[in-house]
A and B are shown apart, each in its own frame.
Chain A
Amino acid sequence: MARQIGDVIVDLQNISLRFGGVKALTDISFNVKEHEIRSIIGPNGAGKSSMLNVINGVYHPQEGQIFFKGALRKKMEPHEAAEQGIARTFQNIALFKGMTVLDNIMTGRNLKMKCNFLQHALYWGAAQKEEIAHRIKVEEVIEFLEIQDIRKTPVGRLPYGLQKRVELARALAAEPHILLLDEPMAGMNVEEKQDMCRFILDVNDHYGTTIVLIEHDMGVVMDISDRVVVLDYGKKIGDGVPEEVKNNPEVIKAYLGTSH
């Protein structure tokens, strides 16, 4: 493979997150290295999505530290995480239903657009130039994910699998350093899963994007991940390359199960 795993880009140390009396995450530490595909697995309610929400600033952990690109990260809002190059997709599709595929993906580039609303109102000169420059970038993503034929369709009309793909496109349009994917293959059939896997690997390979992936399909996870972290009841019970995790007795007990 062309890509080379780099240094640690996100380092989570002793993260604990509580909602009132409910402990969602307890003392979790792991790191993500540049250009790798890092999976988070675990049973339902293990705290996987909460983990992603901590990374991109939707939730603020009560304890623990997050180092991002080597620097200690202060409490931050989601849009600040976005500014630092963290993009994500959601477990339940979070597209903007009333907008077309093209507009949805264009929103992904909002942080790179500098014109203000008065320039937009005139739509002349700088604003139009900017719009077109970003459209060209968006069209590259559209081509990359093979959704040219639906670019003018309102996303509400698309089937589930394609919506997932559009959501990935919107995240990619931001040219993120880190891409957080929350169950990108949930509810898909085999062909759709294969397509999605191909896209994830391509993104990782082509753009060198670091990927943090939550997924329940163990075949997929073990195939495409570089390293896997396993959560159960908000605690970390395993961490390592797929082979290691697969043979970890605790992980087998909590999640993978044994054949009888």
Chain B
Amino acid sequence: MLYREAGQFKATYAEDSQIFPIRQDKIGFWVLMLVFGVAVPLLSNEYWLKAILIPVLIFSLAAIGLNILTGYAGQLSLGSAAFMAVGAFAAYNFILRIEGMPFLVALVLAGLTAALVGIMFGLPSLRIKGFYLAVATLAAQFFIVWALVKFPWFSNNSSSGVVTAQDVTILGYTFVTPESKYVLTFLIVALMALLAKNMVRSSTGRAWMAVRDMDVAAQVIGFRLMRTKLLAFAVSSFYCGVAGALYAYTYIGTVEPEGFNLDLSFKILFMIIIGGVGSIMGSFLGAAFIVLLPIFLDNVVPVIFGDSLGAGFVSNFQLIVFGGLIIFFLIVEPHGLARLWQIAKEKLRLWPFPH
């Protein structure tokens, strides 16, 4: 009864094309922003911030990146973790090698580096589609990780390839506490999510979706396939690159190339499948789900089954649940949690008098 747009009339096209045309949604959004932007850093403890909230935000950003490429532009990619690695190591090298490099500039440069690499590995998409393209991006995954290990220059000649992220300093303020790192991550992710949303709701996004849905028709009405696909690769890799840099600087602190392996790429792919392919909000839901599920199972399984099962069982159980859920989502709701949320809203509009 509360969720209803009755009485909210749109008199201009600007009003009609807002991100949240319904007032209740807008209020809900700002409440969420206040909770996660202000209340959480003030009230939450270190464990929650460090182990849950910061990674959720960072993975959301990576998932947005993959969603732009796979969900919107329809180009299946298994190289997201590699582009994150490019971002992380690019940021590290920019800050290391250029005196007085401001962190935010390094972050943008890291994203741009990843975008360039993304364009390079996106070139095969002009010729191949679907599974074959996925395999081509798999090449990116293996090649980039191999190159980062093979050439010690990338990790400043560290023997194991592990690099330790420098302190994050913006305008003389150094981000040390988890609270400050969380707020920084939150602001960057929120801003980039907004930019992504704007892109996908305007002509750029329509070009991506047109290429995804029917490329011949897209070409006939004037979209250029090459430009559209490569832009999707560039923007997607930029997002993954920034996510990778944040992963190193505000989350883990020390990273090695092997950390950005195929497992991580698959994890990000699962996030968009479960969260919602072709949805910015779905990227957040999916990331939260994938990060929280193992923690949830860790805590719940021993309570239900007792300690008798052992740690090995719990971690295997996680995998079983993961696999099961992915199959479930693919069959029941291919558009993921975001679609379920939308259906719930549609139902809520009619509730409690559906007839």
Residues of A within 8 A of B (CB): 56, 58, 77-79, 81-83, 87-88, 90, 94-99, 103, 106-108, 110-111, 113, 115, 117, 120-123, 127-128, 131-132, 135-136, 139, 170-171, 174
A97 to B223, CA, bound (A): 17
On whether the beta carbons of B206 and A117 are closer than 8 Å, the reply is: no
From the candidates A98, A111, A115, A121, name the one contacting B222 in the complex (CB within 8 A): A111
User: Do B202 and A170 have beta carbons less than 8 Å apart?
Assistant: no
Cα–Cα, bound, A82→B221 (Å): 6
Contacts of A96 in B (CB 8 A): 209-210, 212-214, 217-218
Contact A121 B195 (CB under 8 A): yes
Residue of A nearest to B208 (CB): A117
| Distance of B18 from chain A, by nearest CB (Å) | 10
Contacts of B278 in A (CB 8 A): 98
B220 touches A120 (CB 8 A): no
A107 near B199 (CB under 8 angstroms)? no
Q: What 4 pairs across the A-B complex have the smallest Cβ distances?
A: A82-B222, A94-B217, A96-B213, A123-B198
Chain A CB within 8 A of B305 CB? no
- Measured in the bound complex, the distance between the Cα atoms of B223 and A127 in whole Å is 18
Measured in the bound complex, the distance between the Cα atoms of B227 and A79 in whole Å is 12
Say how far B108's CB is from chain A's closest CB, in angstroms. Answer: 12
Q: Is the CB of A107 within 8 A of B210?
A: yes
A108 pairs with B17, CB closer than 8 A: no
The contact sample of 20 A-B pairs, CB cut-off 8 A, is A78-B220, A79-B223, A79-B224, A81-B220, A94-B217, A94-B220, A95-B213, A95-B217, A96-B210, A96-B213, A99-B213, A106-B206, A108-B221, A110-B223, A117-B199, A120-B205, A122-B198, A132-B14, A135-B13, A174-B221
With A98-B209, A99-B206 known as contacts, the answer to whether A87 contacts B221 (CB < 8 A) is yes
CB of B351, distance to nearest CB on chain A (Å): 21
CA distance A161 to B219 in the complex (A): 24
CB pair A117–B235 under 8 Å, yes or no, is yes
The CA of A98 and the CA of B277, in the complex, are separated in Å by 11
Question: Quick one: closest B residue to A109, CB to CB?
Answer: B203
The one of A94, A127, A132, A171 that contacts B13, using a Cβ cutoff of 8 Å: A132
Known: A79-B224, A136-B13. Contact between A117 and B231, CB under 8 A? yes
B45 within 8 A of A: no
- Specify which chain A residues have a CB less than 8 angstroms from the CB of B315 in the assembled complex: none
CB nearest neighbor in B for A86:
B220
A87 to B202, CA, bound (A): 22
Which B-chain residue is minimally distant from A170 (CB atoms)?
B221
Task: Please name the residue on chain A nearest to B72 by beta carbon.
Answer: A98
B199 CB → nearest A CB, Å = 5
A56 and B220 within 8 A (CB): yes
Roughly how many angstroms separate A98 CA and B278 CA in the complex, as a whole number?
9
Instruction: State which of B14, B214, B219 has its C-beta within 8 Å of the C-beta of A95.
Output: B214
Contact A115 B203 (CB under 8 A): yes
Q: Report the separation of the CA atoms of residues A81 and B221 in the bound assembly, to the nearest whole angstrom.
A: 9
Q: Is A174 a contact partner of B222 (Cβ separation < 8 A)?
A: yes
A98 to B209, CA, bound (A): 8
* A139 CB contacts on chain B under 8 angstroms: 13
- Residues in B with CB closer than 8 Å to A87 are 220-221
Chain A residues positioned under 8 Å from B209 (CB to CB): 96, 98-99, 103
Which residues, 221 to 240 on B, are CB-close (under 8 Å) to A? 221-224, 231, 235
Please give 13 more A-B residue pairs, beta carbons under 8 A apart, in addition to A117-B199, A132-B14: A96-B214, A97-B213, A97-B214, A98-B209, A99-B209, A106-B203, A106-B206, A117-B235, A120-B202, A120-B205, A121-B195, A121-B196, A128-B14
Please give, as numbers and ranges, the residues of chain A lying within 8 Å of B231 by CB-CB distance: 117
A58 — which chain B residues lie within 8 A by C-beta? Answer: 216, 219-220
Tell me if B299 is interfacial: C-beta within 8 Å of chain A: no
For the complex, is B207 an interface residue (Cβ under 8 Å from A)? yes
Complex CA–CA separation, A133 to B221 (angstroms): 19
Task: Determine the chain B residues whose CB is within 8 A of the CB of A77 once the complex forms.
Answer: 219
Which residues of B are found within 8 Å of A123, using beta-carbon distances? 198, 201-202
Q: Which of B17, B212, B223 contacts A98 (CB 8 A)?
A: B212
